[in-house]
Amino acid sequence: MSNSNHSSRRGISRRTFATGVAAAGIIAGSAPFNIVRAQAKSLKVGVLLPRSGVQAGIGQDCHRGVEITAGVLKELGLPSLEIMNGDTETNVDVARSRAERLIADGAQLLVGAFDSGQSTAIAQVAEQRGIPYVINIAAAPPITEQGYKFVFRNFPTAPMILTDAFANQLEIFKIAGTAPKTAVFMHVNDTFGTAMQKGFTGVMSKFTMPYKVVETISYDPAARDLSVEVAKAKATGADSLIMVSRLNDAILLTRELVKQRWSPTAVLSMGPGWYEDQYLKTLGKLSDGPMSFVPWYDPNKKVSKLLEKALAKAHPGINLNTNHVYTFEALLVAADAFKRAGTADPQKLADAIRATNITDNVSTGPGIQFNAKGQNDKLKNSAIQNRGGKLVAIAPASASNAKPELPMKPYDKR
């Protein structure tokens, strides 16, 4: 005790001095690293995708978009991105915890997550932590209606998809000279499906559609068997199907249509599933005919060609699609903002994203800009049709490369 008092009276002991020198040395020594970090050449981007679980197929497909991004960014003269992958396991709670984890591990910007429910959870985390989040694919409108300052979406909302879908359908029916008279609307009951269902009637009423929706059927996207759903739809006597689905259920539904000997004159899809490569490969000639009204890409744009080339090299035989395009564009937004901001500081990065004006892009429409809510409201959709294992664009006329085939060839005549 007396020694201690004695020491304190003396002021700084030899040990304290040595500790202080060591601490100063560490701080001084690490300072150059701080400077290096502030001027980093790459941005750490946490990419959250459902790479396992029910949406695994689509999550893996989105990841192909991540894989081909680096080369294209280099060709465009944009800075490289350091990708940190996170698997949401097609689960909202896991998506939230993976987002937290990626931020804790140093992610400076988040991208993802294909699904509206998972994206909503990630948006909450990003906003709380003040980390910019660029949504690749998610259509539920509320995500960009919360007044968030760090959340940006370069993907159309459900009403935007529906509006373009009905407009494109009218164009197709006019070109084909025929149209369905009645339809059953089937949709998955997840966040995306429910958002589309809520907007469907309201948006449809703004158009003079030739068909009447006679039944609406919702179902679980994880269902193992969809025979009841198809039996119920068939019993209505409708001549066409309007779908909002995912991948696995689109395959299951097509199988049931064939087994239950029901060939609608048209399958009009307003979501993923029916144009995916796995759908085309699994069902072969039975995959021909469905039309998808989806956010797509303009094949005439320069960057589209670069992306097609990169995908063909990395994954021969796979068609470029929505998943690759919009995942790539989310990363393009990140790289572009990082270049302009010159820093990974979250606030400055978010400000740079808000000021984005990319016209040299891939998706259909004038380019990438965000409104005050963080939504790109300039995006346009296309209509595509499955033909012989390939996808052709059939509307709008300005971005099409084929005429629509309507009615669809019956399944038993293939």
Shortest reach from residue 322's CB to another protein, in Å: 18
Q: Is 101 exposed, middle or buried (0-12, 13-18, 19+ CB in 10 A)?
A: middle
Residue (190 or 329) nearer to another protein, CB: 190
Q: Which stretch binds another protein (CB under 8 A): 145-153, 171-179, 227-235, 379-387?
A: 227-235
Closest distance of CB 286 from another protein, Å: 7
Q: To the nearest whole angstrom, how small is the minimum distance from the Cβ of residue 93 to another protein?
A: 15
CA distance 78 to 332: 8
Contact 153/159 with Cβ under 8 angstroms? no
Shortest distance (Å) from residue 321 CB to another protein: 15
Least spacing, CB of residue 57 vs another protein, in Å: 5
CA distance 31 to 27: 6
Q: In what order do the strands lie in the sheet with 390-395?
A: 212-219, 182-188, 240-244, 266-269, 291-295, 381-387, 390-395
Site for another protein in 254-283 (CB under 8 A): 255, 258-261, 278, 282
Contact between 229 and another protein by CB under 8 A: the answer reads yes
Question: Per CB under 8 A, which of residues 84..103 are in contact with another protein?
Answer: 89
CB of 252 to another protein, least distance (A): 7
H or E segment at 244? strand 240-244
Quick check: 53 binds another protein (CB under 8 A)?
A: yes
Residue selected from 18, 26, 36, 231 as contacting another protein according to rule CB under 8 A: 231
Burial 85-100 (b: 16+ CB within 10 A, else e): ebbbbbbbebbbbbbe
Question: Edge-to-edge, what's the strand order for the sheet holding 109-112?
Answer: 81-87, 43-49, 109-112, 133-135, 151-153
Give yes or no for residue 239 binding another protein (CB under 8 A): no
Per rule CB under 8 A, is residue 67 in the interface with another protein?
Answer: no
Binding stretches for another protein (CB under 8 A): 51-54, 56-57, 59-60, 89, 189, 217-220, 222-229, 231-232, 234-235, 247-248, 251-252, 255, 258-261, 278, 282, 286, 411
